[in-house]
Amino acid sequence: MQLVHGVITAIVTPMMEDGAIDIETFRELVSWQIELGVRGLVVAGTTGEVSTLCHGEHIALVGEAVQIARGRACIIAGAGSNSTNEAIELTRHAKDVGADAALQVVPYYNKPTQDGLYHHFRAIAEAVDIDMILYNVPSRVGTKLHPYTTARLSHVPGIVGVKDTEPSMLSMYRLLRMHGVRHGFKVYSGDDMTSHGAVRLGAHGVVSVASNLAPALCLRWHENGSAWGAGEDARLQDSLLRRMFAHANPMPIKHALHEAGMLRSGIRPPLTWLPDTPGRMLCAIARRSACSVGDCDESPSLLLPGLNV
């Protein structure tokens, strides 16, 4: 399935209070996202707490998403590792259960050189015949994927795009204007805070955390070029996204979904459950944002009885 233009939800992994995966709720969330118009989902990524999933859980989640989507949405499996061999194994498993693409994070902790990154990603692409999206997130992994390395990798068969989360957008700006990038190579923003600016620069879309809570609203923000205008609407959007990332992802979004009645209060250590206030505030702001564009009834997560909004 072709990679989508616009909003791709980096979906959470619902868990029971004891940390066990809540597969029924996961199925419901995937179905809900697709029903509201999302056409791309990243499963078992950063937002899905991939670093605390075992291989069996990882593959089970990807397989469930594929079965539910049935071609209606592109399923992108988080399949990266700081071990090239492990990344190949995870990517092969993702392909075997039907994933449309694999998201490959820059190797963390061991700090490879740019040449090392090139050979790491190329080895995965040559080992597994599946579309690959590179994932540049230096704030988490400690190593930056430079634009010239990305441009070089864009010519490797199977490497079709990159998700870039650098808040300055400087790397994205350079990449989108480099002559050495293969034509058709897709660039996605990985930061809700800067995604509108990224799309205006020419990015293909956004891999979004906020769309877990309000998918239809986020789709509208990114489909309407004037959505991030002035006044109350812009203020609410800014307030929502700032609170969404006031703590490490996915703690705020999971708490907000719990307050919306969509998740149990499960998260795996070393992440912890937040106090009551952040999630309730996120839900309240999301509902007010929806109402500001005339969509108070767009989704269950924006109809929260008892919220003082």
Nearest to 163 by CA among 183, 135, 144, 182: 135
Q: Is 270 exposed, middle or buried (0-12, 13-18, 19+ CB in 10 A)?
A: exposed
Instruction: Examine the residue annotation and report whether 163 is marked as an active-site residue of this protein.
Output: yes
Give 186's contacts (C-beta < 8 A, 6+ positions apart): 3, 133, 160, 161, 162, 204
Q: Which of 135, 173, 186, 188 is catalytic?
A: 135
In 3-state terms the chain splits into helix, strand, coil percentages (rounded to 5) of 45, 15, 40
Q: Which of 163, 173, 186, 188 is catalytic?
A: 163
Instruction: Examine the residue annotation and report whether 135 is marked as an active-site residue of this protein.
Output: yes
The values of phi and psi at residue 108, to 5°, are -100, 160
Q: Specify which residues 189 forms β-bridges with.
A: 164, 206
Nearest to 286 by CA among 212, 226, 228: 212
Distance CA 215, CA 99 (A): 21
143 marked ligand binding residue: no
38 marked ligand binding residue: no
Give 56's contacts (C-beta < 8 A, 6+ positions apart): none
Residue with tokens 């293909």: 204
Q: Which residues are annotated as a binding site?
A: 47, 207
- What residues act catalytically? 135, 163
Q: Which residues are annotated as a binding site for pyruvate?
A: 47, 207
